[in-house]
Amino acid sequence: MRAEAAHGSGPAQTQWMRGGILLGLGLGGFFDGIVLHQILQWHHLLSAREQPVTLEALKVNTLFDGLFHALSYLFTVAGVALVWQGRGKGEQERPWGAFLGTLLLGWGLFNVLEGVINHQWLGLHHVRPGPHQLAYDLGFLAWGAGMIALGWAWTRPRAG
């Protein structure tokens, strides 16, 4: 079997690949919101602009964290819908590596976009504010770039 046949082509492939990327964006958002915002409590969405040192400021940050989670949820639902629509359609089964690659592409894309826009450009928050915040921000960007590179490699057809 040729590698291109295993990956499929056409509209069905485009749908499941876009769906996987949207799922990855949602997973990246949920990881950031759940692990970095809630469990580790390193930051909130607006914590560099509205430091959560009063109850009112914490309420504002919590509201925007919730809106951020709602957007992550919408990405996830849209991703599931596209993957579901793009499944099979009379073609051969998709390789797991390619699907996992789309998830990594989306998650990495989330990290890079969120890191560049929210951390650097808008200055809404940093990964972990404090003495080494630039190192944490750059590490977050590098982690995202690494996921994009690995995801891209996994989505490419294999020779053979």
pLDDT tens per residue across span 17-71 = 999 999 999 999 999 999 999 999 999 999 999 999 999 999 999 999 999 999 9
How confident is the model at residue 95, as a pLDDT?
79
How confident is the model at residue 15, as a pLDDT?
87
Range of the domain at 81: 3-155
The three-class DSSP label of residue 69 is helix
Cβ–Cβ under 8 Å, residues 125 and 45: yes
Q: How many domains does the chain have?
A: 1
> What's the mean pLDDT when you consider all of the chain?
89
Q: How many CB atoms lie under 10 A from the CB of residue 53?
A: 9
Which amino acid type is present at position 98? A
Residue 59 is assigned to a structural domain of this protein: yes
pTM: 0.87
Residue 160 is assigned to a structural domain of this protein: no
Residue 7 is assigned to a structural domain of this protein: yes
pLDDT tens-digit readout, 81-107: 999 888 766 555 667 889 999 999 999
Q: CB-based contacts of 1: which residues, under 8 Å, 6+ apart?
A: 92
Counts for the chain of helices (H) and strands (E), in that order: 5, 0
Position 136 pLDDT exceeds 80: yes
Cβ–Cβ under 8 Å, residues 104 and 155: no
